[in-house]
Amino acid sequence: MGMRIVRTVVVVITILSFALFGITEVIRLVNRDTSLPEITSDREVLEISCDYTEEQLLEGLTASDEDDGDLTSQIIAGSFSRFIDKGVSNITYVVFDSSDQPATLTREVRFTDYHSPRFTLTEPLVFAEEEGSYTEAMNRIGAQDMLDGDLKDWITQTETDLNYQRAGSYTMTVEVSNSFGDTSTVGLPVHVVSAERRTMDIELSTSIVYISTGGSIDPDSYVQRVTDAQGNEADAGRVNVSSNVDTQTPGVYEIHYEVSDGGSTGETWLTVIVEG
């Protein structure tokens, strides 16, 4: 008899448990958030500069939810895609309502002032015979990107005819890519000269210059100072300048600087890249 009562109690408790669960589920379904948030944009393409702010990245966006109302302030910008076209990428935004239901929107972003990564030089690629090396040359080469910043660690040499043991004019081709998939490749001129042509030093304000097609360049303006073998300053007005730069045609050019004083001589080159 006692066992039968126990079984009856267990059955009743089980039935009540299922009933309670069913009631809870009904209440949950009745009270569930059936509205989904939505993000809208007032433009198909967002145009911004490469030094954009977070606020500019969110320009033209609004978000709302039927239950939560305005959610614009809670929109989060995701990461950029690789370039669709040069300087053009996609970005996806997301917002969550109070029930953690998401909404996303993807729109095109155009960087209005973007240009491909550019190479830099800490000093001209000019070496005395038997003194230059691959390591020394690569140490002088850097790269800057308008979106990723410093890309020096990603530079690779793809081709060269360099012989650091013999005086001559050579080319080393280097390449670098940014995280958006844009690659820059340039054949940088390298000069190996005899030691006697390095007894004077011509210091330039920069070692590489980028200009746009149709632009202008003043070769003399890059000469900062000239010193002799003892480090004494010499007359910079005695520097002879010759240039093969054609500002109307994209390409890699050079400006040659040479100075002589008695038996001492110095020379260097400025690399000029004309961009199309």
Q: Which domains does the chain have, with CATH numbers?
A: 38-111 (2.60.40.10), 118-275 (2.60.40.10)
pLDDT-derived band at 32 (thresholds 50, 70, 90) equals low
The H or E element spanning position 25 is helix 2-31
pLDDT for 262: 81
* Per-chain mean pLDDT for the chain: 91
pLDDT value for 21: 57
Tokens linked to 254:
């050079």
Residue type, 165: Q
The answer to whether the pTM exceeds 0.85 is no
Amino acid type, 35: S
Write the DSSP symbol of residue 151: -
pLDDT at 12: 46
Residue 17 contacts by C-beta under 8 Å, 6 or more apart in sequence?
none
Measure CA of the first residue to CA of the last residue in the chain; give whole Å.
100
List pLDDT tens digits, range 81-137: 999 999 999 999 999 999 999 999 999 999 999 999 999 999 999 999 999 999 999
**pLDDT-based confidence at residue 159 (cuts at 50, 70, 90):** very high
Q: How confident is the model at residue 17 (pLDDT cuts 50, 70, 90)?
A: low
Residues 256/257/262/263 CA torsion (nearest 10 deg): -50
* DSSP tag of 42: S
SS (H, E, C) 260-271: EECCEEEEEEEE
Using pLDDT thresholds of 50, 70 and 90, give the confidence band for residue 35: confident
Yes or no: say if 103 and 41 are a contact pair by the CB < 8 Å rule: no
State mean pLDDT over 137-141. 98
Q: What is the pLDDT of residues 211-257, one digit of tens each?
A: 999 999 999 999 999 999 888 999 999 999 999 999 999 999 999 99
Contact criterion met (CB below 8 Å) for 118 and 184: yes
Contact indicator for 67, 97 with CB cutoff of 8 Å: yes
Examine the pLDDT at 263 and tell me if it is beyond 90.
Answer: no
